[in-house]
Amino acid sequence: MSTLRNNRLFATLGTIADVFGSAAAAASAVEAGRQPKARALRTLGIDADAFRSIGKL
């Protein structure tokens, strides 16, 4: 493998790990009745302010 291809592979794997980690952190927080951290929501493409308003009337 070339160095560039190797770097791209590791970057992709890092991104996948970030997404799964953020999903796990957000799910864990919701199950515990807490607000997930804004960084985890941002990684998942969820607006933190919109998430806070879920369930409020």
What are 9-32's pLDDT values in tens digits? Answer: 888 888 999 999 999 999 999 999
Average pLDDT rounded to a whole number, residues 2-7: 76
**Whole-model pTM over 0.85:** no
Phi, psi dihedral angles at 38 (to 5 degrees): -60, -35
- Token pair, residue 47, equals 């607006």
Burial string for 22-38 (b: 16+ CB within 10 Å, else e) reads: beebbeeeeeeeeebee
